[in-house]
Structure formats: C-alpha cells, structure tokens
Amino acid sequence: MAEHDVIDEHLEDDQGDAYGLDARTVRAIREAAEAGDAAALTALMEPLHPADIADVLEQMDREPRDRLIALYGHEFDGDILSELEESVREEVIATLAPDVLTDAVRELESDDVVDLIEDLDEAQRSEILDALGAADRLAVEQALSFPEYSAGRLMQREVVTAPAHWTVGDAIDFMRAKEDLPDQFYHIVLVDPRHQPVAYVTLGKVMSSRRDIALMDLAEPSFRTIPVTQDEEDVAYAFNQYHLISAPVVDEDGRLVGVITIDDAMAVLSEENEEDLLRLAGVGDESLSDRTLQIARQRFPWLFVNLLTAILASIVIAQFEDVLAAIVALAVLMPIVASMGGNAGTQSLTVAVRSLATRDLTGANALRVIRREITAGLINGCIFAVIMGVVGVVWFGTPMLGIVLGAAMIINMVVAGLAGILVPLTLEKVGVDPALASGAFVTTVTDIVGFFAFLGLAALLLL
Amino acid sequence: MAEHDVIDEHLEDDQGDAYGLDARTVRAIREAAEAGDAAALTALMEPLHPADIADVLEQMDREPRDRLIALYGHEFDGDILSELEESVREEVIATLAPDVLTDAVRELESDDVVDLIEDLDEAQRSEILDALGAADRLAVEQALSFPEYSAGRLMQREVVTAPAHWTVGDAIDFMRAKEDLPDQFYHIVLVDPRHQPVAYVTLGKVMSSRRDIALMDLAEPSFRTIPVTQDEEDVAYAFNQYHLISAPVVDEDGRLVGVITIDDAMAVLSEENEEDLLRLAGVGDESLSDRTLQIARQRFPWLFVNLLTAILASIVIAQFEDVLAAIVALAVLMPIVASMGGNAGTQSLTVAVRSLATRDLTGANALRVIRREITAGLINGCIFAVIMGVVGVVWFGTPMLGIVLGAAMIINMVVAGLAGILVPLTLEKVGVDPALASGAFVTTVTDIVGFFAFLGLAALLLL
C-alpha cells in the first residue's frame, strides 16, 4: 500500500534529519542526469515532493540543471515551478520546452499562477498567460490588478459560501451536489444577500451537528475579514496573532472576493522574517542560488555605506593625530571602545527591530523601553569600564589611561543603547524599514562617539 | 448581530494598521485601571482577543499591571495566560488569586496547559496541575514526559480517526453520533487495526462525496506522519516545506498518539526565526517585557566574548607600535579595513546561517557556495581596494599608503567571505547552533586579519 511506503521511508529517515532530501538521493539524481539516464532519473525523482525537487534544482549549477530538465522533460510538474525561488525559476522557465511549460502551468491553481508570474519579465509573463485558458487568464489578470504584496495577490478566489439563513442540512446537500469544490477548504463562509460575509463555520462543526441546526448557531468566534488591499505582512500578522486558519477577503464595499488560508500566511511570515534577518545584515533579497556577480552587486551598497561611515570615523580619529603620535597605546586600545559600542548597539537595535515587526514595541511602551535600554547600557558599561580600566593599567601601567578607557566605555555603551532604540523607532515613524537602515546609522553613531570620547578624554587628561 | 460589529470595527480600523491594538484603546485601559474603574475596564477589555489583552499586559510595568489584573479579576481568561510571554506569565500567575487561576486553567485544552506550565518553576507548576481534573492532569503529565521542544509537547491528543475500510457514510454517522469532537479539526485520520495511521482525508472531500465512497479513495497525497520525539523545529520545517495543514503523530511503534496542526507549527516557525535573529545579534532569548537587570545580564556574555576578541585584535595592533609611532596615518585608517571585513563577514555568515536553517545549504552545494563567497569577496575587495587606494593617496599624499590600504582590503574581504561560510558550516557540523556563535568567530577573524594585513604590509613597504 502506498501509504505504508511513506511511513516506512519516513521512519527509516528518522535517525538523522527526518525531512528534506538525503544526500544520497541528491547524488544519485545528479549522476543519473550526468549519465543521461532518463529512466533512472524519473525513477529517482518521481517519489519526491515538488518542494524537494525544487530544492535539488536550486542546488545545481545551471548547465547540469538544464541537462536534468531536458531529460526529465514532460514529467516536469507545475508545482515544481511554484516551489522554485525567483532567480532559478526564471532560468528554468527559459529552459523548458514551450509545450512542457504550457502543460506545467495549466495544472496550477490561479493563485499559484499569480505567484509564479508576478516576478517574471514581460516576455515570460505573456508566454505563460497565453498558455492558460480564457477563464484562468482572466482570473490571473484580475489578481494582478491588485497591488503587489496585497491580500488580493495572496487569496484564492474559490470560496465555499452559504446564505446566512441556511441549516446544516442545506449546506451538506449543497456541497454534495456541487461539482467543483476547491481542493482544500476548512470553513463555509456565511454571506448576507449583498454577498458580504457575516460569519463562518468549520466543516467539523457542520459534520457533527444535526441537519436542522442553523449554520449561524455554529459560527466561530474567531471570524475576521481581510480587506483586499491589505499588505500581506499584516495578513500574516493577523493569522499568527489570532490563530486564524482561513479568513474571507472583502473588497471596499465589504463584499466577499476570496479567501486566504493559513498555509499562504505561513509562507509570507517565513519570507518576512527572512527579509528582516537579511536586511539587518545588510544583504538585500539574496538567495543561495543567486550567481556570484549578483551576490557581489547586492552586497556592494551596504558595504559602500559602511565605507562612508568608516571614513567618517577616520576623520574623527584624524582630529587627534597629535595625541596618537604622543601616546601609541591609544591606537592599540581605541578599536576596543568602538567595537564594544557597535556590538551593544546591534543588540539593542535587533531587539527593537524585531519588536516593531511583532508589534510588541508601540507608542504605548516606547518610553519605558528607551529608559530600560539606557539603564542596561549604563550597567554593562560600568562593568566593562572596570574590566577595561584594569586591563589598561596592567597592560600599559598608566592608571589615567585606565580611567580614560573606562569612562569612554560607559559613554559609548549608554549611547549605543539609546541609538539602538531611537534609530529604529525614528525610521519606522518616517516610513523606512528599520531592518534595512538601522545598522548603518547605529554603528556610525557608536564609532564616532567611541573614538571621540576615548581620544578626546585622552587629549584632556593624558597630554 | 455580533458578527456585524466585528466587521464594522474592522473596517473602521482599516485606515491605519488594520490589526493589533490601537493606541487609544490601550490608553483608555490604562486610565481605567489607574482610576480603579472595574466596570469601564471590563467594558474595554471584553471585546478584545486574548492575544491582544496579553499584549496590553506585556507592555505595562508590573505595579499597574497587578492593579489591572486585580480589577479584572474573575473575567481573566485562561487563553490570556497562553498568549503571554514567559517572563510576564510567571509574574501574572504569581499575582492571580488562586481561584481565578484555577478557573482560568480549567478552561484550557491540555496542549495549551502543557505549553503554559513547561516554563514554570516547580511550585507554580504543581499549583496549576492541582487545579486540573484527574483526566486532564494525566494528559498533561504524559505530554510532559516527552522531551522539551518535541512533537509530543506540541501535539494535541484528541484526534478524529476512522478505520481504513470505512465509507463516507460511516464517517458522517460516526461524527454525528460522537459527543466530544475536538474544537478544530481538518482531517479524519484513517488507521489500520493496530492503530497505525495509513492515510487521511479532508473534511471537505468527505462532505462533497457520496455516502458509499470508500474513505481510502479520498486519501490526500500530502499524508505524512511525525515521530513523537521529533524536534519541533523539524516539524515546523515539514509543515512549511510540504504545505501540511495537519499531520498525525506516531510513537516508535508507528501507532497514532496525537495530531499537530499548522497553527502550532506556524507559532514554532515564528519563534525559531526570532531565536535565530536575536542569536545572530548576540542577544539570548530576550523579550521586550524583560526587566532591565535581566536584559543587562542576558547581553553581558556576548559583550564579554566580544571584549576578549577585541583585546586579541589590540594585541595584534600592539605588535606594530613602532610602525604606528612612525606613521600616524596608519592609526587613522586601520579601523576602515577591520570594519569593512567585519561587515562583509556578517553578510556572508547571515546568508549561510539562514540557508542552513531553511536547509538550502547542504553538503551537496557547500563547495559551490564557498567558491562563490570567495569570488564575491574578491570582486568587492578589488573595487573597494581601488576606492580606498585613491582615498589614501588623496588624503595623505602617499601612493604607497594607498597600495597598502587597497591590498589589505582585498585580503580581508576574501577572508571575510571564506570565514563567513566556513564558520557556520563547521559549527553546524559539530552540533553548535551557528546563529549563536558564528558572529564572534567571524569578526575575530576579520579584525585580526584586517589589522595584521594592513599594519604588516605597512611595516614591509612603508618603513
């Protein structure tokens, strides 16, 4: 029985990494592709989930990948395309024989086609639209009329609805008579005569209730509607915050136009988290399958910004050339102050950026958080001031150098805490993604303050 | 009608941030709590989702929060406890009157109780266990016998099952007769006589099929089982990778013991992403509602590690005191080399850590990614070498200084790319979370290499 195979295979895998591909399968697939053995290749790939096949393709260089795709040919499934990440997807679409592409795309639901083509260039986009039937093409084009990253792009249009006055029996008879129910649905949306959703019921409740019960009596308290133009990030937040499984999408008149299910919201949540993580590190929307030149280009802007801020810091240092020429120990120790400030600032700003994303940091508690950051910076600053003061004295034998080092440390760590929270808050307020730009601002502040405090105090107290 | 209120309220909110709390409500709640106005407080809080109430509590200081809880009293819902984050939850449980706590806990499903008490200390834990009925207590204690962060802790034990030979009609009759179906379920799990799951069917398919159809004929291809001891991170990966909505959990004999649904997997995914983000920044499992001293203590270890690596870098600089004393320009420019290397290294390591978490980086493509990182580092290194060479010459008028600066830049950026990928790969291999420790190692490498290359080349070529 097919189902038993799945379990056995699964338990066998259980030792190591229970999911994903094992390295042996990947190697065998590559070898089959290299040897031009289409039969072996198909036998190896056939049992894999499209998401896993997509992973295999993403991990290959372009030439062997093209060879694999040519061999795999008509087995190529539309779902594999959906699972591929953008940069690889474009290359794969360019590689696929036109009839294979047409077949692959026709299998997909309209929301998957939308997801597929929204990142493609005009030529590839119309190639795919032409492959669709008239009804599907219309659905896709309508979805594309909604703003990018909006609920309208994310939703599926197929919704199972029932008039709000129906009973359980009405709903069951209706569903049994209906030919083309969506593949996956979890709720029946109850609508009023203007087609505005007023409640929903779970299929579980419908199935376990008597036929004469009114659907409205089974309505779930979790019911929420989503405006069609809402940003998908807000949609993902709502699903996670309110434990939604599906939610009806409404147009500006409150009329039902589609439904979003939690699996789509989960994918958005995962992408948004990835975006924040990469942006905080100064990496754009990079993926592991991007080519070297793309990578270098994507990383350049952040490095360039960092260069400018580093030069700014150097200009600060240059103001103290006399002091540095007189006391070389300052040049030895000054990176410590800047580095500690930079790290403390990064800690604060990361917590702030994450808290803004999860909406735990709001106007209501911002003052409290600012106070806390300053105090935490002061506490750790004092501890490190003592440690560094001792290091300075022991290493260079000048007590005053230890005092200068300690004082600069306290100043820079308090400033780091303050900048780490104020910079993201300000960026959020002016509508710039704090994940994108906070790092550059905060480390500029801590570098400049660190060098200035340390060298400035040294000029005052040591010369 | 209650449902209409929800829509209206929702559309009204639509202008700004469609979800979460608006600042006005939060302010009104605080004022009501301060004024001791229990009626106003209850009226304001009653319409809120427990997740939003939890957010309000998290954003308050302890004293006003305790006052609010005392006023809200018996309205306090068990779900609010579930939604609170750990540190606040402990304080709230300590504050709640014993009978309020008992009532609150009794409302919860057993998996929510497990989630609630696993982080509590022994005294609070037994207080809550004592509040439960015997059956619930047994269920919770059994769940706690599974390892922390395992599927066994995450699953709910209530599963709707049917013998694999049943028809649609059998299933519907069974469900209608059954008294206590779970609140939320999406699949019926088909089991063999040994209670091993062999397939599942969606409720939608059951409802839309004729009574004489065999359930096995409706089996979903997405069927996968989850071992009860599997790490919850792997569970979340599987749900996201394979678009699962629910999955049966099996013990070591393959017998059904529970079910995990996508909403729980989504919560885990979100937590894991947050953990990676914070760990990369050297922040432990910090939350915004932690107290100042906790914050300072949690951030201290990473700052201390950073101090040690900064001192290491200073020791490298100290080897070149003669060169620095002779040419002060070196002290001015040397932070630029280290800073650029540090940033390039952070870019590489963040992409690597994320790719390891999403399993896009594997043994199969590691070599390719390493080659790519080195090449990207070389390309950007060369560009910045030219820029910095020019800056060095223009600023200090010494062509050789420009050459030294440029050469050090190329060396450090190539090393940054290499360290940024090798360090996380190595940590993953030896079983250390790469998100936790990569940053310290990589910046140590880039600091030391940066200072050594710049000052060493200067000693060779400029003295």
Contacts B237 to A, Cβ<8 Å: 19-20
Per DSSP (E only), the strands in A305-460 are none
When CB atoms are compared, the residue of A20, A331, A364 closest to B23 is A364
DSSP string, B234-260: HHHHHHHHHT-SEEEEE-TTS-EEEEE
Q: Sign of torsion, CA B90 B96 B98 B102?
A: negative
Helices B50-58 and B86-95 pack at an angle, to 10 degrees, of: 90
pLDDT for position A20: 61
A72 closest CA partner among A90, A106, A96, A91: A96
DSSP string, B282-311: T--S--TTS-HHHHHHHHHHHHHHHHHHHH
Backbone angles phi, psi at B194, to 5 degrees: -85, 10
Residue of B nearest to A203 (CA): B203
Contacts A303 to B, Cβ<8 Å: 340, 343-344, 347, 380, 384
- Do the Cβ atoms of B240 and A267 come within 8 Å? yes
- 3-class secondary structure, B327: coil
Assess whether pLDDT exceeds 60 at residue A459. Answer: yes
pLDDT for position A87: 83
B220 closest CA partner among B232, B204, B236, B235: B204
pLDDT for position A34: 92
Contacts of B273 (CB under 8 A, 6+ apart): A270, A273, A274, A277
Per DSSP (E only), the strands in B92-179 are 161-163
Residue of B nearest to A306 (CA): B340
Per DSSP (E only), the strands in B39-89 are none
pLDDT for position A19: 59
When CB atoms are compared, the residue of B199, B204, B234 closest to A181 is B204
pLDDT for position B20: 61
Contacts A15 to B, Cβ<8 Å: none
Rounded-to-integer distance, Cα A244 and Cα B103, Å: 25
- Walk along chain B (463 residues) and give the pLDDT tens digit of each residue: 343 333 333 333 333 445 567 878 888 999 999 999 999 999 999 889 999 999 999 988 888 999 999 998 888 889 999 999 888 888 898 888 888 888 888 888 878 888 888 878 888 888 888 888 888 888 888 889 999 999 999 998 889 999 999 999 999 889 888 878 887 788 999 999 999 999 999 998 888 888 899 999 999 988 999 999 999 999 999 999 998 999 999 999 999 999 999 999 999 999 999 999 999 998 877 888 788 998 999 999 999 999 999 999 999 999 999 999 999 999 999 999 999 999 999 999 999 999 998 888 888 789 989 999 999 999 999 999 999 999 999 999 999 999 999 999 999 999 999 999 999 999 999 999 999 889 989 999 999 999 999 999 999 999 8
Contacts B355 to A, Cβ<8 Å: 288
pLDDT for position A13: 38
Of residues B288 and A326, the one with the higher pLDDT is A326
Secondary structure element (H or E) that encloses residue A190, with its range: strand A187-191
Rounded-to-integer distance, Cα B179 and Cα B162, Å: 15
Residue B366 to chain A, least CA–CA distance (Å): 9
Q: Which residue has the tokens 């600012």?
A: A370
Contacts of A269 (CB under 8 A, 6+ apart): A236, A239, A240, B266, B269, B270
Measured in residues, chain A has a length of 463
pLDDT for position B122: 85
Q: CA B49 from chain center: how many Å?
A: 22
Of residues B160 and A7, the one with the higher pLDDT is B160
pLDDT for position B112: 85
- Do the Cβ atoms of B292 and A372 come within 8 Å? yes
Contacts of A364 (CB under 8 A, 6+ apart): B23, B26, B27, B30, B59
A61 closest CA partner among B367, B307, B16, B303: B367
Task: Bin A73: left if φ > 0, else alpha if -120 < ψ < 50, else beta.
Answer: left
Assess whether pLDDT exceeds 50 at residue A9. Answer: no
- Do the Cβ atoms of B351 and A283 come within 8 Å? yes
Assess whether pLDDT exceeds 90 at residue A251. Answer: yes
Q: Sign of torsion, CA A356 A346 B332 A283?
A: negative
A435 closest CA partner among B289, B281, B384: B281
Rounded-to-integer distance, Cα A302 and Cα B283, Å: 23
Average the pLDDT over A431-459 and give the result: 94
Residue B317 to chain A, least CA–CA distance (Å): 6
Residue of A nearest to B355 (CA): A288
When CB atoms are compared, the residue of A7, A196, A339 closest to B225 is A7
Assess contact for A222 and A242: CB atoms under 8 A: yes
Tokens of A265: 């919201």
Helices A328-357 and A262-280 pack at an angle, to 10 degrees, of: 170
Contacts A296 to B, Cβ<8 Å: 375-376, 379-380
% of chain A surpassing 90 pLDDT: 64
pLDDT by residue (tens digit) across A100-120? 888 888 888 878 888 888 878
SS3 content of chain A, % helix, strand, coil (to 5): 70, 5, 25
Give residue A182's pLDDT band: very low, low, confident or very high (50, 70, 90).
Answer: confident
Task: Bin B161: left if φ > 0, else alpha if -120 < ψ < 50, else beta.
Answer: beta
Assess contact for A69 and A92: CB atoms under 8 A: yes
Assess whether pLDDT exceeds 60 at residue A15. Answer: no
Stretch among A193-202, A325-334, A361-370, B367-376 having the lowest mean pLDDT: A361-370
Q: Sign of torsion, CA A7 A12 A16 A21?
A: negative
| Structural domains of chain A in order of their starting residue, each with its CATH number | 2-145 (1.25.60.10), 161-280 (3.10.580.10), 292-461 (1.10.357.20)
Rounded-to-integer distance, Cα B306 and Cα B414, Å: 22
pLDDT for position A265: 93
ipTM of the shown complex: 0.87
Q: Which residue has the tokens 């070529």?
A: B461
Per DSSP (E only), the strands in A255-337 are 256-261
- The pairs formed by A291-299 with CB atoms below 8 angstroms and a separation of 24 or more are A291/A87, A291/B372, A292/B372, A292/B375, A292/B376, A292/B379, A293/B379, A294/A87, A295/B372, A295/B373, A295/B376, A296/B375, A296/B376, A296/B379, A296/B380, A299/B344, A299/B347, A299/B376, A299/B380
Q: CA B236 from chain center: how many Å?
A: 11
Residue of A nearest to B297 (CA): A380
pLDDT for position A85: 87
- 3-class secondary structure, B430: coil
Backbone angles phi, psi at A149, to 5 degrees: 60, 25
Assess contact for A406 and A386: CB atoms under 8 A: yes
Residue of A nearest to B421 (CA): A288
pLDDT for position A10: 36
Query: Strands B226-227 and B246-250, how do they pair?
Result: parallel
